[in-house]
Amino acid sequence: MTAVRDILRTMDYGLAPESDEHARAWLAAHSAGFGHFIAGAFTPPGQLFDVFNPARGERIARVSQGTEADVAAAVAAARKALKSWSALSGDARARWLYALARHIQKRERLLAVLESLDNGKPIRESRDVDVPLVARHFYHHAGWASLIADEFPGHRPVGVCGQIIPWNFPLLMLAWKIAPALAAGNTVVLKPAEFTPLTALAFAEICVEVGLPPGVVNIVTGDGATGAALVESDDVDKIAFTGSTEVGRAIRQATAGTGKKLSLELGGKSPFVVFEDSDLDSAVEGVVDAIWFNQGQVCCAGSRLLVAESIAERMYAKLRARMETLRIGDPLDKSIDVGAIVAPVQLERIKRLVEAGEREGAKVWRAPGPLPERGCFYPPTLVTEVEPASILAREEIFGPVLAAMTFRTPDEAVALANNTRYGLAASVWTENVNRAFEVAAKIKAGVVWINSTNLFDAASGFGGYRESGFGREGGREGLAEYLEAPAAATKSAKAVKAPLNALPGRAPAPDGDSIDRTAKLYIGGKQARPDSGSCYSVLDPEGKVVGLAGLGNRKDIRNAVEAAAKASSWGAATAHNRAQVLYYLAENLESRSEEFAARLGAQTGAGAREARAEVETAVRRAFYYAGFADKFDGAVHATKTRFVTLAMNEPWGVMGIVCPDEAPLIGFVSLVLPAIAMGNAVVVVPSASHPLSATDFYSLLDTSDAPAGVVNIVTGEAAALAKTLAEHDGVDALWCVGPRELSKAIEAASAANLKATWTRLPPRDWADEQGRDYLRRATQVKNIWTPYGE
C-alpha cells in the first residue's frame, strides 16, 4: 500500500476515476441498438453500425445507419410539425426551451460521462465546459424566443432546418444549432457525427421527457451518405453544417440554385500571437488551452504559434517544461489533461502530417509522458522551425500539434497570421492595449481573443471569414441565421430584356447626327475601354438604338477586382466620412434628376412621371444609406464571464454585385449603396439591357469625392461576368439578382473559396428594397473578447 510520505516525496497523481456505471447501464438498456428519433418516437433499429470508445478501442453501442427513406420520414415529420410550432407565441416556445435546459441540467452527469466515453475527451472538459454551455444555450435562446417579435419585427422562421454536426463537440454543437432554430420557430432534422452519436440520442430522450411536440426535433444517425440525403432533400429550407472545409465546399455546390439558406462553420488554422511584452507564463497556459484542449480537435484551436523572435527561445523552454507536466490517459480520470483521439483514422492523419512536416525540415518535440497501451492517443507536440509554406502551417491537423514560427514586427505578425486560407479565430497576447486592438482589427478572423483563448458563450456569435465559412452561431447574429426578413413585394410582370448585339463603332444620336456615344467601363476611378475592344447596342423597347456599352470580359473583371482591392482604405475610413460621401452623392443625383429621368425613359420606355419617381426613390435611398453609414452599430455582448465582448460589424472587403435587368437605376443604387456604406469596395455588373443609367452614375462618383476603386462598373453579358466574379478568389462576397439558373451557377462557382453569396429572383418591387437586412448582409461580424479586472 502506498504511504503518504511516498506520495509527498514523488507528488505523483493518484487515480481519480469518474464512475461510468450509470452510463453503462443506459447503454445496456439499448443493447439491441438505437433507432432514429422521428416524429417524437424512436424507430426500430435498422441496419446497425458500431460506435467505439476511442480510449479503450471497445464497442459501446450500435446505431442505425440512416437511409434516404429515414431522412425523408424525418423531414416529413418536421414539415408536419412546422405550422403549429411556428404559430406558437414566442413565450410558449420559450417555455419549451426552458424545460429542455432544466432537464439537461438534471441529466448533466450522464451526458458528461457519455460524451467522454463516446468522444475520448477528458471528463473535466465535458463536465465543466461542454454540458454547462449546452444548458446555457437553451436558457439563452429561451429568452430570445420571447423577444423575437419585438427585436426582429416582421421576420418569420426559415422552415425545416437540416443540421449536420461534427464529432469534436457532439452535444455542444447540437445545442448551438437546435436552440436558435427552435427559438425562431423552425423545426429540425439533425444528423450527428458517425463517430459520436450517443449524446444526440440521449438528448432525444430528453425531448420525450419534456413532452416536446412530435416532429419539432428529429434525429437521424448515419454516415456521410445520410448527411448527403439531408442536404439534397427538396423539402429542407436551410442547411446548417459544422465540419471540414472540403465537405462544406461540397454542400455549397449541392445546394446551389435550390434556394436553401446555408450557414457553414468550417475548418481553421488559427494564429496564437505572442508579443515581446506578454506575460509569458500566462501565454503558456493560454497555449495549453488553445491547442491541447480536447486533444487539439477544435476547429478554432490555436495551432499556429507566432512568437516575437526576441523571446522565442524563452517561450519554447517554458512550453516544453509545461508540456512535461501534462498527463495523458483515460478520459474518465479526473486528473487527466489530454484524452484520446476520436478514431484510428484521425490518429493516422495526425501522424502522417507530422511526418510530412519533419521531412520538410521542421523540428519535432513530443511531451515525454507515457501513453496508454491501448486506445487512440497522441502526445502533445511542439514543432519549431516551421516555414510559412510548410504543410504544418497550412493544413488543419486537428490534433495536439503546435506549429511555431517567429516574427520581428507587428506588421509581420499580422501578415503571418493572415497567411492562411482560413479565418476562424485568433488569439493575441500583449500588455499593450493599443497594440492588442490594432492587431485584432487587422487579423482576418471571425473571433479574436485578447490575452485569452477558446472562450465561448451563447450570447456571442461564433463563425469565420474566408474558407472557414460564413454565418454565425450564438448571439443575435446567430439567431438571424434562422429567420427570414420581411419579403418585399415582387412584380407580376416579367422584366423586359433586350438582346446583346455586339456592334463595333457608333450609335446614332437622337437628332440623327453621328457622334460617339459609347459608354465605357469604370475601373479604378477612370473610364476604361473594354479589353475585348467590342461594344453592344443598347435598345429601347421598340428596338431603337439609344447608345452603345462596352462588352466586358474576364480580364476587365480581373482589373476591376484589383482596383477594388487597392481601395481598402475605404473600409478603414470613419463611418462619418463614408456618410459624407454618400450624402454628397445623393445631392448630386438630385441636382441631375431630370437628366437621369430622361435617360431612364429613353432606355426603358417608361413615362416621364414613372422615370422621375424612380430617380426620386434613388435619391431617397442614397440619403437613407448615408444616414445608416455611421449608425449600423455593433454590440457589447453580455457574456457570462468577465469579458468585454465586442461584436464589430466589418466589411467583407471586395464585393461583386450583379444587378437586375429591371429598374436599372434604383436596382443599381439599392445594391451598391448599402455595400459601400458599410466600407466595401464593389465590382458591379449593371443591367445588361439598360446599362446607361449605371454608366452615367460614374460621373456622379467623380464629383462626389468617392475614392478611386470603391465602385467599379463592368458592363456586358451578366451570366458570363457573374460567373467570373463567383470564381475569383479576390472577391469576398457576391450578390446577384437574376434567374434561378444564374443563381445556381454562381453559388456553385463560389464554392472554390467559399465566398458568401446572396441571390434573389427578379422581378422585384425595388421601391421597397431597403433596410437593415441589406446592411447585415454587407458585413461580417468579428467578436473580440477582452478581459477586464484582476
| Kind plus residue range of the DSSP H or E element containing 483 | strand 483-484
CA distance 725 to 658: 9
Burial of 300 (0-12, 13-18, 19+ CB in 10 A): buried
Q: Which residue has the cell 470580359?
A: 553
Check if 207 is active-site. Answer: no
Torsion, CA 773, CA 774, CA 780, CA 784, rounded to 10 = -60
Q: Provide the b/e sequence for 583-594 (b: ≥16 CB within 10 Å).
A: bbbbbbbbebbe
Instruction: Given the residues 207, 299, 376, 736, select the one marked as catalytic.
Output: 299
**Cα separation values, 339 from 345, 375, 380, Å:** 16, 10, 11
What grid cell was written down for 355?
511526418
Amino acid at 698: Y
Closest C-alpha to 338, from 79, 526, 128, 121: 121
Residue labelled with grid coordinates 486560407: 421
Those residues whose C-beta lies under 8 Å from the C-beta of residue 534, and which sit 6 or more positions away, are 502, 504, 550, 551
Q: How are beta strands 779-787 and 447-450 bridged, if at all?
A: parallel
How many Å separate Cα 248 from the centre of its chain?
11
d(CA 746, CA 734) in angstroms, rounded, equals: 9
Distance CA 187, CA 159 (A): 7
For 298-356, the DSSP string reads -TT---EEEEEGGGHHHHHHHHHHHHTT--BS-TTBTT-SB---S-HHHHHHHHHHHHH
Q: In this structure, what C-alpha cell is assigned to residue 246?
A: 472540403
All three cell numbers of 241, joined, read: 453544417
Residue 265 falls in the annotated catalytic set? yes
CA atoms of 323 and 778, how far apart (whole Å): 44
Q: Which of 286, 281, 289, 340 is nearest to 118 (CA)?
A: 340
Positive/negative CA dihedral, 264, 265, 269, 274? positive
- Whole-angstrom distance, CA of residue 551 vs CA of residue 529: 9
337/595 Cα distance (integer angstroms): 72
How far, CA to CA in Å, does 642 sit from each of 130, 449, 461, 778?
19, 13, 17, 31
Which residues are CB-neighbours of 109 under 8 A, at least 6 positions away? 22, 127
| Type of residue found at 227 | G
Number of H helices, E strands in the chain: 28, 35
The number of C-alpha atoms within 13 Å of 211 and in the hemisphere containing its C-beta is 3
Which H helix or E strand runs over 58?
A: strand 58-64
Residue in this structure with the C-alpha cell 464585393, named with its chain if needed = 655
CB 751 within 8 A of CB 253: yes
778 DSSP assignment: T
| H, E, C per residue of 152-209 | CCCCEECCEEEEECCCCCHHHHHHHHHHHHHHCCCEEEEECCCCCCHHHHHHHHHHHH
- Nearest Cα residue to 481 out of 635, 647, 263: 263
In whole angstroms, give the CA distance from residue 536 to residue 557.
17
Given 265, 473, 614, 747, which residue is catalytic? Answer: 265
Report the alpha-carbon distance of residue 676 to residue 697 in Å, rounded.
14
Which residues are designated catalytic? Answer: 265, 299
